[in-house]
């Protein structure tokens, strides 16, 4: 009998991130590693960002949901290519063992 | 219809800031998009609007003490705010250049002379601030607070007094 963790992992791969359902394939390159194709759920919301007292900018915040087994270790310097655009991974959110992690992305490198 | 002195000063500040372009010898072209009292709550700048400036004449303190008979001194606190999106230049460096350009532009005439008439007798820099946010893109903002000192005849906001 499989554990709940195993069942979550199966659901993540077979249902949530399946490209026949909500998922789509992108190219993920860990810093210093090789590019691989992984499935993610893409999310791009708009939000108002305050950059100084009295200065507000409405801007998009790209992010994606990915299988935690595809994203291991520190994400600093990792990139994702989607539709010809390169996104830099700013942060990884979510706890190990929950199946899915959220990657916060930017068109600009934090080192740029 | 005549404009009062405060309106004339705001118009003069806007016109001066609009001269901030690289073609006029400045380091940035932030003067290409200057707004007055853009409501940042309901209509924040869009990423495509940048670079941009916003002017807000926040408050004016009036005083008659020590002034020539029949005149009132006004100290107008004006906020000049800029927003920028990083492209090729490092974001923090660009913000400092924008601040420097604004200060340089103000310094070309701190008495805001229009058609040979000085609208104010002095302008002072009160404070500056910058901030950077890294979300979908790298966005930066800066703020310059200035005080513009001008005199009018008592209860006559339309007539400048020197």
Question: Smallest CA–CA separation between A82 and chain B, in Å?
Answer: 14
Per-residue pLDDT at A5 exceeds 80: no
**pLDDT the model gives residue B46:** 87
Binary contact (A57, B129; C-beta < 8 A): no
Please check whether residue A56 is in contact with residue B44, taking contact to mean a CB–CB distance below 8 angstroms.
yes
Average pLDDT over residues A2-21: 80
Average pLDDT across chain B, whole number: 93
Q: What is the dihedral of CA B145, B151, B156, B157, to 10 degrees?
A: -20
Q: Does B127 touch chain A (CB under 8 A)?
A: no
**pLDDT the model gives residue B89:** 60
With pLDDT > 70 as the criterion, what percentage of chain A qualifies? 97
**pLDDT the model gives residue A17:** 87
With pLDDT > 90 as the criterion, what percentage of chain A qualifies? 46
Average pLDDT over residues B105-128: 97
Please check whether residue B130 is in contact with residue B120, taking contact to mean a CB–CB distance below 8 angstroms.
no
Residue tagged 């520190």 (tokens): A74
Question: Hey, is A24 helix, strand or coil?
Answer: strand
pLDDT in tens, B13-60: 999 999 999 999 999 999 999 999 998 888 899 888 899 999 999 999
pLDDT in tens, A48-97: 888 877 888 888 889 999 999 999 888 988 999 999 999 999 999 987 77
- How many CB pairs lie under 8 A apart between chains A and B? 86
User: What CA–CA distance (Å, rounded) separates A108 from B134?
Assistant: 8
Binary contact (B137, A54; C-beta < 8 A): no
pLDDT in tens, B131-146: 988 878 888 999 999 9
Per-residue pLDDT at B151 exceeds 80: yes
Per-residue pLDDT at B100 exceeds 90: yes
Binary contact (A57, B136; C-beta < 8 A): no
Q: Between helices B91-107 and B5-17, what is the axis angle to 10°?
A: 130
Per-residue pLDDT at B86 exceeds 80: no
Average pLDDT across chain A, whole number: 87
- Chain B's closest residue to A61, CA to CA, is B136
With pLDDT > 70 as the criterion, what percentage of chain B qualifies? 98
Per-residue pLDDT at B128 exceeds 60: yes
**pLDDT the model gives residue A98:** 77
Question: Smallest CA–CA separation between B12 and chain A, in Å?
Answer: 21
Q: Does B126 touch chain A (CB under 8 A)?
A: no
**pLDDT the model gives residue B137:** 83
For A:23-52, CB contacts with B below 8 A are 44, 47-52
Residue tagged 């600009």 (tokens): A108
Question: Smallest CA–CA separation between B114 and chain A, in Å?
Answer: 29
**pLDDT the model gives residue B87:** 61
Binary contact (B45, A57; C-beta < 8 A): yes
Cβ burial of B57 (10 Å; 0-12, 13-18, 19+) is middle
Per-residue pLDDT at A3 exceeds 70: yes
Question: Smallest CA–CA separation between B14 and chain A, in Å?
Answer: 17
**pLDDT the model gives residue B88:** 62
**pLDDT the model gives residue A78:** 94
Binary contact (B136, A59; C-beta < 8 A): yes
Q: Does B24 touch chain A (CB under 8 A)?
A: no
């Amino acid at each position: 009998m499989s554990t709940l963790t195993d069942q979550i992992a199966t659901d993540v791969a077979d249902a949530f991130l399946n490209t026949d359902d909500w998922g789509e394939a992108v190219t993920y390159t860990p810093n210093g590693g090789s590019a691989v194709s992984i499935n993610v759920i893409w999310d791009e919301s708009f939000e108002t960002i305050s950059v100084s007292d009295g200065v507000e900018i409405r801007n998009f915040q790209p992010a994606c949901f990915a299988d935690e087994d595809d994203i291991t270790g520190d994400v600093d310097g990792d990139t994702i290519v989607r539709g010809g655009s390169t996104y830099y991974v700013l942060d990884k959110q979510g706890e190990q063992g929950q199946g899915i992690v959220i990657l916060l992305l930017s068109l600009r490198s934090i080192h740029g | 219809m005549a404009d009062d002195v405060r309106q004339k000063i705001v118009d003069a500040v806007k016109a001066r800031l609009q001269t901030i372009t690289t073609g006029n010898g400045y380091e940035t072209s932030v003067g290409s998009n200057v707004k007055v009292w853009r409501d940042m709550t309901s209509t924040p700048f869009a990423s495509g609007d940048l670079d941009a400036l916003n002017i807000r004449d926040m408050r004016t303190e009036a005083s008659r003490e020590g002034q020539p008979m029949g005149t009132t001194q006004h100290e107008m606190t004006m906020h000049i705010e800029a927003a920028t999106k990083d492209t090729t230049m490092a974001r923090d460096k660009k913000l400092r250049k924008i601040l420097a350009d604004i200060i340089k532009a103000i310094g070309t005439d701190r008495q805001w002379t229009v058609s040979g008439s000085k609208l104010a007798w002095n302008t002072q820099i009160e404070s500056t601030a910058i901030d950077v946010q890294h979300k979908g893109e790298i966005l930066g903002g800066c703020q310059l607070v200035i005080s513009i000192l001008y005199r009018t005849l008592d209860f006559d906001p339309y007539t400048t007094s020197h």
